[in-house]
Amino acid sequence: MVETSEWRVVNGHRLFVAVHETGGEDVVVFCHGFVSSSTGPQRAFVRVARRLADCGISSLRFDQYGSGNSAGEYEESSFTDWCATITELVDAELDRGRRVVLFGQSMGASAAIVVASQRPAVSGLVAWVPDPNTDPLDVGPDDLLEEAGQLVRGRYWLEAREADIAACRRRVACPAYVVQCTQDALVDDANRHAIEAAARDHHVVDTWTGLPHSAWTHQQTDEVIERSVTFARTASTARTSVTPEDATD
């Protein structure tokens, strides 16, 4: 496996991309969360990418526009733009004849759900703590909000709600592994149940009792990573045969 970093123009944006290349036919595209970056929470995406590489699976980690090392300011980003960027990266890998698994966390998981629902050629989906954003919003598209020290326009959340992420989840044709947490302060019970209700027979919902949104201990992260890597490996090579047992063995 060779790890490299590069700049790419994707969806009209100059983005930072970290590539873990094994030369195989399978690739995972990571989608980071809100006010996060390509390393993922507690650097978990780096750990997952290297575990996947040990299994012969390549991956891409990238910073969305206005995030991490990429060009732009966070307030210029939007949920629709996030989805368009992920779609362009996925299409490029599909055009290369590769099997693609999407792997997202938080709002990156929500965006990955939207893209997977629109790209039936995607082989699998791993979604950590996705937020379907079912709550009513009293915000204008140009309103400037501050969250976790970052400025963001109201359009980001309005677009996320308009995307109807729970409905997209029901349309995801590929096997999916979804991690949810009962002590998630950002995804309340109503939103968590909306994700659960949208599950199909080929979707696995793994609910972790007592865990918060993503601030897991090292051991807890290891356990989530182990299940997620096992699922991603199976989904990338045998899309139609993935079962709940495959994800948790």
Residue 244 in this model has a pLDDT that exceeds 60: no
φ/ψ of residue 211, rounded to 5: -85, 145
Which residue do the tokens 């980071």 mark?
32
**What is the reported pLDDT for 199?**
85
Instruction: Enter the tokens of residue 162.
Output: 């308009």
pLDDT tens sequence across 46-88? 999 999 999 999 999 999 999 999 999 999 999 999 999 999 9
Q: What homologous superfamily is domain 2-248 in, according to CATH? A: Alpha/Beta hydrolase fold, catalytic domain (3.40.50.1820)
Cβ atoms of 149 and 176 within 8 Å: the answer is: no
- Least confident range of 15-19, 149-153, 220-224, 236-240: 236-240
**What is the reported pLDDT for 238?**
58
pLDDT tens sequence across 164-196? 999 999 999 999 999 999 999 999 999 999 998
> What is the model's pTM?
0.93
Q: Which of 122, 115, 94 is nearest to 169 (CA)?
A: 115
SS3 content of the chain, % helix, strand, coil (to 5): 40, 25, 35
Q: Which are the contacts of 200, defined by CB distance < 8 A and separation ≥ 6?
A: 170, 172
Question: What percent of the chain is predicted at pLDDT more than 70?
Answer: 94
Domain ranges of the chain: 2-248
Which secondary-structure segment (H or E) carries 87?
helix 79-95
**What is the reported pLDDT for 133?**
87
Q: What is the CA radius of gyration of the chain?
A: 17
Parallel/antiparallel/unpaired status of strands 99-105 and 58-62: unpaired
**What is the reported pLDDT for 26?**
96
Q: What is the dihedral of CA 158, 160, 163, 164, to 10 degrees?
A: -100
Question: What percent of the chain is predicted at pLDDT more than 90?
Answer: 86
183: exposed, middle or buried (Cβ count in 10 Å: 0-12, 13-18, 19+): exposed
Q: Is 34 helix (H, G, I), strand (E, B) or coil?
A: coil
Q: Which one is predicted more confidently, 73 or 136? A: 73
Q: Is 174 helix (H, G, I), strand (E, B) or coil?
A: coil
| Average pLDDT in the chain | 92
Mean pLDDT of the 101-110 span: 98
